[in-house]
Structure 1
C-alpha cells in the first residue's frame, strides 16, 4: 500500500528550495527576505553556455551563492536537511516519491490548473489565445501537476503581452503569493476541477509561421519568442511585431509590413540568418527587397 504523502504544515520555517531558471529566483529571494531559513537549495548542474568552454551556474545557484545558502544538485539531500517544507519553482526535474514521502512539498505553477499542466504553461496560454491565466500553489503529487490547490491568483494576459512580460509579472506575483501562503499556514486546499490540458514543451515547429493564418495567430507566435520563417531559403526570426494596416498577400513584404491570411503586421525587431537582432527598418533599408520576395519561401 502506498504511503500517504505529507501535507504542508502550518508554521513552516526551515525550507528546502528547488529551482533552476531565472523565473525561480524572485521566490528564493523573497523567502530569504521574509525571514525563512532556507537550509538547502537544490538546483541543476552548471552548464556550458555560449561558444566558450567555461561553465556557468543556473540563475538559482548564482543567487544562492550570493545569499550564502547551502547548495546541492542531489534531490535526496533535502531529506537529510531536516526541513519543514520543500518549495519547488520551475525545477524541471521529477522529484522521486521516496523524497516527497519524507518532505512535504509545494509547487509554484504558472497556470490556472488543471489547464496547462506541464512544461510550458505560459507559452501555451499565449499560443492558444487565452485572455487570462493564474499563479497556483499546489501540493507536489506523483502525477504531473495534479496536486490540490492551496492558493491561486488570476493573471490577465494582455493582447500585446509577450511570454517574457508574463514571466516577469508572474515570477514577482508568485514570490509574494508563496510567502503569504506559507505564513498563513496552508489553511485549506481544493482539488483541481475540470478536464486537464497539457502544456507540452515548445518545439521549433510550434513557432514556424504559417503566413496563410490570421494575423492574430502569427502575432501570438511572435509574442512567445523565437517565431521564425524563411526568406530566400534561409531562416529568418521575428522578435517583435504589431498589427498593421495593409492589403498584402500571405508572406508578401512591403518594407516592414507583411501580409497574412487575414490582416497584416508591422515588423519591429528581426534577425536574419547568421546575424544579430536589429530594427526591422534598418534591415529593410539594406535587404534590397524586390517585388518577388516573400516570407515562407
Structure 2
C-alpha cells in the first residue's frame, strides 16, 4: 500500500459499521458494539478451518459470535467493499490477521483496536513481543488505519501493567475487555482530534518456534520464564519435543541449582538461576502436572533437557 495520497478520515460519528476480526480476543469488542446499540451491517472473519487432522472445519471465534448475534458474516473482502457501497461508513478492525488493501481503505475508512502502546510494538504479535522484551506495561489503542503498518494517528489509548506472572493469554483477555470499553467510549465521544504517534518505534514480528525454544545454556531463568508465559515454549527430552506450559523461576540463592539443561527433580538449570517445571506436555500426550510426569519418567541422574 502506498502513502502517496492520504486516505479519507473516519466519520466523526459513524452510522453503520463493518467489523473485521477473527480470534477470541476480537469477540468482546464486537459484542460491546452490539450492546451499545451500534449498527453492524457485516462481519468479516477468516475462513473456517480444521483445528485437528480429523476434525471438521470450524468457524473462528468471531464468526461464531456473529452468527449467535444474528449478524451477517463473510470471509470475502469484496463483500466489505459492497457494504461500503450500500452505506457502511466505518470499518472496525480487531486482530483480523489479513492485509487490507488500499482500494478497500479508500472506500471504507477504518479504525483499528491495537494491543500495544504505539509506536512500540507495531505489527502482528505485540502482546507476545512485549512479554519477551520484559516490558512492565502494554496497552490498547484506538487508531486510524493508514497505508503503513500501524502508523495511523491515535484517538485514545489505555495502559495495562504486565505483572511478573502475566501470561500472553491473560493479557489478551484483559486487553480485549479494556479495548472494548475504550472503543465504545471513543465512538461515543466522536472520532475527532487524533494525535500522531511519537516516540521510538519497534516492530512486533510474528512469533516462531525458534522464539519459544528453551535454550537453557544460553539464557537466564527470567528470560526463559517469559517464553513459557507467551505459550507454546518447548525443549526436547529423550529425542521428543516437550512443551512447558507453566514454570516458576528459582533464584540461585533459593536452592542448589543444577548445571544448565540438567534436570534435578522438577528444577532445570539455566545460564542464571533455575526453572521449576509446573506443567508440561510430551509430544503425543495430554498436558500434565510436572511432578506427576517426572514421577513416571524417572529421570536418570544428570539427565538433560534440550540438545
Q: Is the 8 A contact 1:229 1:237 kept in 2?
A: yes
Q: Matched residues in 2 for 1:53 and 1:149: separation?
A: 41
Q: CA deviation digits over 1:81-126, x for unaligned, max 9?
A: 2212110000111111111112110000001111111110000000
Q: Is the 8 A contact 1:232 1:293 kept in 2?
A: no
Name the count of aligned residue pairs. Answer: 297
**132, 141, 145: which one pairs with 1:136?**
141
Q: Is the 8 A contact 1:3 1:101 kept in 2?
A: no
Which residue of 1 is the match for residue 52 of structure 2?
50
Which residue of 2 is the match for residue 231 of structure 1?
237
Which residue of 1 is the match for residue 105 of structure 2?
100
Which residue of 1 is the match for residue 299 of structure 2?
289
Q: Is the 8 A contact 2:42 2:74 kept in 1?
A: yes
Q: Matched residues in 1 for 2:57 and 2:281: separation?
A: 27
Which residue of 2 is the match for residue 202 of structure 1?
207
**25, 28, 33: which one pairs with 2:27?**
25
Structure 1, unmatched stretches of 5+, are none
Structure 2, unmatched stretches of 5+, are none
Measure how far apart 1:191 and its partner are.
0.9
Measure how far apart 1:261 and its partner are.
1.2
Give 3-state SS (helix, strand or coil) of 1:201's partner.
coil
Q: Matched residues in 2 for 1:199 and 1:275: separation?
A: 32
The answer as to 2:244 corresponding to 1:242 is no
Q: Matched residues in 2 for 1:66 and 1:74: separation?
A: 20
Give 3-state SS (helix, strand or coil) of 2:112's partner.
strand
Measure how far apart 1:194 and its partner are.
2.4
Which residue of 2 is the match for residue 262 of structure 1?
272
Q: Is the 8 A contact 2:13 2:191 kept in 1?
A: no
Q: Which moved more, 1:71-80 or 1:213-222?
A: 71-80
Q: How does 1:158-173 map to 2 (within 5 A)?
A: 158-173=163-178
Which residue of 2 is the match for residue 183 of structure 1?
188
Which residue of 1 is the match for residue 82 of structure 2?
80
Give 3-state SS (helix, strand or coil) of 1:48's partner.
coil
The TM-score with structure 2 as length reference comes to 0.94
Q: Matched residues in 1 for 2:13 and 2:123: separation?
A: 29
The answer as to 2:117 corresponding to 1:116 is no
Q: How does 1:143-162 map to 2 (within 5 A)?
A: 143-162=148-167
Q: Is the 8 A contact 1:4 1:101 kept in 2?
A: no
Give 3-state SS (helix, strand or coil) of 1:101's partner.
helix
Measure how far apart 1:79 and its partner are.
2.9
Q: Matched residues in 2 for 1:47 and 1:88: separation?
A: 21
Measure how far apart 1:264 and its partner are.
1.1
Give 3-state SS (helix, strand or coil) of 1:266's partner.
strand
Q: Is the 8 A contact 1:43 1:72 kept in 2?
A: yes
Q: CA deviation digits over 1:20-56, x for unaligned, max 9?
A: 1111000000000100010011111111221225111
Give 3-state SS (helix, strand or coil) of 1:4's partner.
coil
Kindly report the root-mean-square deviation, in angstroms, between the aligned alpha carbons of the 2 structures: 1.3
Q: Matched residues in 1 for 2:55 and 2:239: separation?
A: 32
The answer as to 2:273 corresponding to 1:271 is no
